[in-house]
Chain A
Amino acid sequence: MKASGEQTRRYLELVARRGPKKPVLRNAVMAFLVGGAICVVGQLILNILVARGMTPQSAAPPTSALMVALGSLLTGIGLYDEIGRVGGMGAALPITGFANSIVAAAMEYKREGFILGVGARMFTVAGPVIVYGLLAAVLAGLVTLLLRGA
C-alpha cells in the first residue's frame, strides 16, 4: 500500500507534531564549546611554533598537519566519535573532524584489505568534501582572476 501525496503530507505532519524535538540550544552550546576548544588547541600549537621562530604564515601548514595528526590519534583510540556525539558540528567542522572522517573509514574498511578496503573506501565520507572543496577553490580562483584582470 503506497500512500498518496496528500496522505503522505498529512502523515508526515503528524510525525513532526508528535516527534521528539531536537535540543537545538544545547547542541549549539556544545558545538560552540567543543569546536572552540579544538580551535584553542590549534591556536596554542600555532603560538608555540611562532614563539620558536616561525612566521605566522609559515607556521599555519604544520599547525594543520599537527591537528590532523591529533584528530587521527583520537579516532584511532576510539575517542573522537564520542567527542562528535557530544559536539556535533563543533567536532565535525574543524580539520580534526576531516581527519576523523578519513581515519574512521580507513579503520573500518581495513578488514576488506589494503587495496579494495582502505585504498578504495578511505574517502567514502571525506570524498565529497574534497571534490566540492576543490571545485569551490577553482571557482574562487577564477573569480579572483577575473576581478584582478589577467
Chain B
Amino acid sequence: MAVAVAGKRVGQATVAFERPPALVGAASVVGPREGRGPLGREFDVVKDDDLLGEASWEKAEARMLVEACRTALRKANLQAHDVDYLLAGDLLNQLVSASCAARDLSLPYLGLFGACATIVEALALAAMLIDGGFARFVLAASSSHHNAAERQFRFPTEFATQRPPTAQWTVTAAAAIVVAAEGAGPVLTHATVGRVVDMGAQDVNDMGAAMAPAAADTVWQHLRDLGRQPRDCGLILSGDLGHHGARLARELLGRTGVDIGSAYADCGALVFGAEQDAHAGGSGSGCAAAVFASHVLPRLQRGELDAALVVGTGALFSPTVVQQGETIPCVAHAVAVRGPGAYGAGPGVGPERGDARA
C-alpha cells in the first residue's frame, strides 16, 4: 500500500500551512504584580486582587481564563458558538483551570499540557486543524496563577522561604488567541514541534537552565527545516527561559553556528522589572501567552514587526518524580508568525477601545 506523502511537511519537524490561518483576536488578563511590570499597560485587563474575590487561587485562575477567552472573542467580533474548538491548558494537576474554564464557556474542548509551552502547542494545533479543513475558528488559550502553582509545586504561599537568583516567578496571567481560517490579522505560516530534550538538570529552582537546550534545539531545527537564517524570522521570542536561560540558549545556539543576534527576546525576561524581585524573570503557562498576545501580536499588527518566531518552552516535570530523583524533561515548540502586510490591520488585536481595565 502506498503511503500518502504529507505535502505540508517541511524537513524533519516543521509544517508549512498552505493557507496560513490568521490570528484575528487576542486578549490577556493578568494579576496585580504583572500589571505593575514594564508591560502592565499593554495587557487587556489588570486585576487588583490575585484572588479575584474567589474562594481559591484555582477558581481565580479559571475565571481569568474565561475572561481572557471572552475578551478575545469580543475583540474578534465572534460569539462563543462560532468557535469549533477550545485548545487550552495550564499548570495545575488534571488541567483543572482550563477544564473549569471550558465548562463555563461551554465549548468543544481539547485540554493540552505542554507546561509553559502550552500556548504555542495550542497555536500549532489550531493552525493544523484549520489548515486541515477541520475548523474555521479555534480558540487557543492558557493560564497560570502564581499562588496556585506555588502550592502545587513548592510550598504554601505564606511559607517564609528565600529564593535563589536562578528561580523564576510563575506569573498570574491568562491569555487567549482566536485563530481563524481567514480574516484580518497576523498569520501563522509554520509550526515546528519540538522533541523532548533532557540535559540532566534536576534543579527546580533553575528552570531556565533546564529548558534552554530544548529551546535551542527547536530553533535550530526550525531554521534547518526551512533553510532560514535567524534574520529571516524577525523577532525570535522564547517563552520563559528568564534572563539566565535566555543567555544559555543564545550560547548553545552560538555553538552550533547560529547567531540569533539582537532580534531576540524572552517573555519571562520582559514581564517583570529588575526592581520587582522576580530574580531570573517570569515563568508559567500564562507568561508566553500574555506577552505574545498583548505585547508582540499588536506590534505585528501595527507593522512595527514584520515577523516573529514564537518558541514556547516547557519543563515537563512533576514534584513527585523530581523528588524521586528523575531529571527534568523539557520541550519547546515554535510557530512562525508574519504580520498582515498587504491585508491591512484587523480590528481584533491590540488594546480594546474603552480599555477594559478592572
Say yes or no: is B196 at the interface (Cβ < 8 Å to chain A).
Answer: yes
Contact B159 A101 (CB under 8 A): yes
Q: B213 within 8 Å of A by Cβ?
A: yes
CB–CB B158/A20 < 8 A:
no
B56 to chain A, nearest CB (A): 5
Tell me, yes or no, whether B134 is within 8 Å of chain A by CB: no
B162 is an interface residue with CB less than 8 A from chain A: yes
Contacts of A107 in B (CB 8 A): 156, 158
Q: Are A7 and B160 in contact (CB under 8 A)?
A: no
Q: Is A148 in contact with chain B by the CB < 8 A criterion?
A: no
Give B36-56 interface residues, CB cut-off 8 Å to A: 55-56
Contacts of A125 in B (CB 8 A): 155-156, 159
* Sample of 4 further A-B pairs with CB below 8 A, known A20-B279, A104-B158: A2-B327, A12-B199, A75-B158, A125-B156
A101 to B161, CA, bound (A): 10
Residues of B within 8 A of A103 (CB): 158
Q: B224-254 toward A: CB 8 Å interface, digit per residue (1/0)?
A: 0000000000000000000110011001000
The distance from the CB of A10 to the nearest CB of chain B, in whole angstroms, is 9
How many residues belonging to A are interface residues under a CB distance threshold of 8 Å? 42
A residues whose Cβ falls under 8 Å from a Cβ of B:
1-3, 5, 7-8, 11-12, 14-15, 18-23, 27, 75, 78, 80-81, 83-89, 91-92, 97, 100-101, 103-105, 107-109, 111, 124-125
Contacts of B160 in A (CB 8 A): 75, 80-81, 83-85, 87, 91-92, 97, 100-101, 104
- Give the distance to chain B from A64, nearest Cβ to Cβ, in Å: 18
**Chain A residues whose C-beta falls within 8 Å of the C-beta of B198 in the assembled complex:** 1-3
- Judge whether B158 and A100 touch: CB under 8 Å: yes
Does B7 have its Cβ within 8 Å of any Cβ on chain A? no
The reply on B291 being an interface residue by CB < 8 A is no
CB of A15 within 8 A of CB of B201, answer yes
Chain B residues with a Cβ closer than 8 Å to the other chain, count: 35
Shortest distance between the CB of A109 and any CB in chain B (Å):
7
A109 to B244, CA, bound (A): 33
User: How far does the alpha carbon of A111 sit from the alpha carbon of B217 in the complex, in Å?
Assistant: 42
- Across the interface, do A19 and B209 meet the contact criterion of CB distance under 8 Å? yes
Shortest Cβ distance from A116 into chain B, in angstroms? 14
- Interface membership of chain B positions 153-188, coded 1 if the CB is closer than 8 angstroms to chain A and 0 otherwise: 001111111111110000000000000000000000
CB-based contact A27/B209 at 8 Å: no
Chain A residue contacts of B196, Cβ below 8 A: 1
Chain B residues in 8 Å Cβ range of A92 = 160-161
**Alpha-carbon gap, A85 to B164, bound state (A):** 10
29 contacts between A and B (CB under 8 A): A1-B197, A2-B200, A3-B200, A5-B200, A7-B199, A8-B327, A11-B199, A11-B200, A12-B199, A12-B201, A18-B244, A18-B248, A18-B251, A19-B165, A19-B209, A22-B164, A78-B158, A81-B160, A81-B161, A85-B160, A85-B161, A85-B163, A100-B159, A104-B155, A104-B157, A105-B159, A107-B156, A108-B157, A125-B156
Known A-B contacts A15-B206, A84-B162; the reply to A109 vs B156 at CB < 8 A is yes
| CB of B315 closer than 8 Å to a CB of A | no
Please tell me if the beta carbons of B158 and A3 are within 8 angstroms of each other in the complex. no
B155: chain A residues at CB < 8 Å are 104, 125
**Chain B interface (Cβ < 8 Å from any Cβ of A):** 55-56, 151, 155-166, 195-201, 206, 209, 213, 217, 243-244, 247-248, 251, 277, 279-280, 327
CA distance A99 to B308 in the complex (A): 50
Chain B residues with CB under 8 A of A3: 198-200
Q: A105 to chain B: which residues have CB within 8 Å?
A: 156, 159
B277 / chain A contacts, CB cutoff of 8 Å: 85
Once bound together, how far apart are the Cα atoms of A104 and B161, in whole Å? 11
Q: Which of B162, B248, B280 contacts A14 (CB 8 A)?
A: B248
User: Could you say which residues of chain A place their CB within 8 Å of the CB of B166?
Assistant: 19-20
CB neighbours (8 Å) of B157 from chain A are 81, 104, 108
Are A20 and B197 also in contact (CB < 8 A) when A78-B158, A81-B158 are?
no
Q: How far is the CA of A100 from the CA of B155 in the complex (A)?
A: 12
A48→B279 CA distance, assembly (Å): 42
Give A104 to B197 CA distance when docked, in angstroms.
Answer: 36
A104 contact set on B, CB distance < 8 A: 155-160
The 3 closest A-B pairs by CB, nearest first: A84-B160, A8-B200, A108-B156
Min distance, Cβ A114 to any Cβ of chain B, angstroms = 15
Closest B residue to A21 by beta carbon equals B165
CA A3 to CA B327, docked complex, whole Å:
10
Q: Which residues of B contact A89 (CB under 8 A)?
A: 162
